[in-house]
Copies of this chain bind each other. A is one copy, B any other.
Amino acid sequence: MLIFLEPHITPDQRRALDNAVRGAGCTTTETPTPYGPFLVVEGDLDRLRQLPLSVFGGVRKTVALSKPYRLHSREHQADPTVVKLGDVSIGGGGFTVIGGPCAVEDDATLLETAQAVKNAGGHMLRGGAYKPRTSPYSFRGLGLDGLRMLRDVGQQVGLPTVSEVCDPRHIEACMSNVDMLQIGTRNMSNFDLLIEVGKSGHPVLLKRGRSATIDDWLNAAEYILAQGNMDVVLCERGIRGFDPATRNTLDIAAIPAVRERSHLPILIDPSHATGHPAYVPPMAKAACAAGADGVIVEMHVRPETALSDAEQAMLPEEFRDLCEDLRLLASVRSSRRL
């Protein structure tokens, strides 16, 4: 790190700065330039970064020459992370399709939906049991009963399952019933929850917060990784935008931006991103062409009976056609290394 000093830094200011830097386990070498003196700082830069250097008197500017060490980074791990859920892999070159209803509603509907996912060639089953809803008076999910339905149906049909967890007190129940824990967009910065799913060691699908930058999101993943749980899959699901034409703004460039920074796999959720079933196929194909590791898509066998997000659910036959297109695209992608 470099610290540029004001030309007129006082001896008291200089002493306070030196003490703080030394206190953080660092040493400095001063170099004069025509623009004023600056200090080259060496030592425990991670501790130094905790200091609010910019509020010290006499400091003009600090320049970081290195990035802090992060488990999510390409510098830490060059090879892509592959998360395994039974026979299914996410990351590493394949393209994983997760389908299912927004919310688990009843045994029969879930089974019918899961069979449609399986028949279409989908790889995993999604379904919410604990549903965060904008209004407290909306359907908030079946809770534990929903988790059990998901487990039973997943096993019956032969699809690994993923479901959202919102409360640290529900993690154990989720872990014992589903194969992957989803952290939703509303809880991306619920750090206590992230730490607990990190400790659980269970695979995690981490959705991006609606107003989170890529770096905010990777730091949220870091909360999980720092607990020793490396099975983290990122999921871009649209960020807050200004155009009501879509429910959110799908930040498709998050795919290359994440790839450049991190070894973690990244999925796209075109259903929440757009809010329109007709926009889901083009966005899912865009995700594949742009190099995503998969998609997670909402599908319902009878949307008019759905208890949540009916407007954005695809029908089974639409889902089947999409899966076929995605298989073709993914095979072109892998054969030609698009």
Query: Are B286 and A287 in contact (CB-based, < 8 A)?
Result: yes
22 inter-chain pairs at a CB distance below 8 angstroms, sorted by A residue, are: A51-B304, A54-B310, A55-B310, A55-B311, A134-B219, A136-B219, A136-B226, A137-B226, A186-B191, A210-B211, A239-B241, A241-B242, A250-B253, A255-B282, A255-B286, A256-B276, A257-B279, A286-B286, A286-B287, A286-B289, A289-B289, A332-B332
A260 at the interface (CB under 8 A from B): yes
Tell me if A239 and B249 are in contact (CB < 8 A). yes
- A86 located at the interface, meaning its Cβ lies under 8 Å from any Cβ of chain B in the complex: no
Residues of B within 8 A of A286 (CB): 252, 255, 286-287, 289-290
- Closest Cβ of chain B to A183, distance in Å, is 11
- Listed from nearest, the 10 A-B pairs whose CB atoms lie closest are A52-B310, A289-B289, A211-B211, A186-B189, A286-B286, A211-B240, A167-B192, A286-B290, A285-B289, A282-B290
Bound form: Cα–Cα A243–B240 in Å = 10
The answer to the question of A317 belonging to the interface, with a C-beta cut-off of 8 Å to chain B, is no
- The answer to whether B328 and A338 have CB atoms under 8 Å apart is yes
A336 close to chain B: CB less than 8 A: yes
In the bound assembly, the distance between CA atoms of A130 and B303 in angstroms comes to 42
* Chain A residues in the interface with B (C-beta under 8 A): 2, 4, 16, 20, 29, 31, 33-36, 40, 42, 46, 50-52, 54-57, 61, 63, 65-66, 68, 130, 132-140, 166-169, 186-187, 189-193, 195, 209-211, 213-216, 219, 222-223, 226, 239-246, 249-257, 260, 273-274, 276, 278-279, 282-283, 285-291, 303-304, 306-307, 310-311, 313, 325, 328-329, 332, 336, 338
**In contact, B65 and A4 (Cβ under 8 angstroms):** yes
Taking a contact as CB atoms under 8 Å apart, the answer to whether A132 and B189 are in contact is yes
How many angstroms between the C-alpha atoms of A247 and B29 in the bound complex? 33
Contact residues in B for A56 (Cβ distance below 8 Å): 304
Complex Cα distance, B192 from A130, in Å, reads: 10
Give the residues in chain B near A29, CB-CB below 8 Å: 33
Q: Given A191-B166, A250-B253, does the pair A65, B328 have CB atoms closer than 8 Å?
A: no
Bound-state CA distance A66–B26 (Å) is 27
Q: Is the CB of A245 within 8 A of B214?
A: yes
How many angstroms between the C-alpha atoms of A203 and B135 in the bound complex?
A: 21
With A135-B222, A289-B282, A304-B16 as known contacts, state yes or no: A54 contacts B311, CB within 8 Å: yes
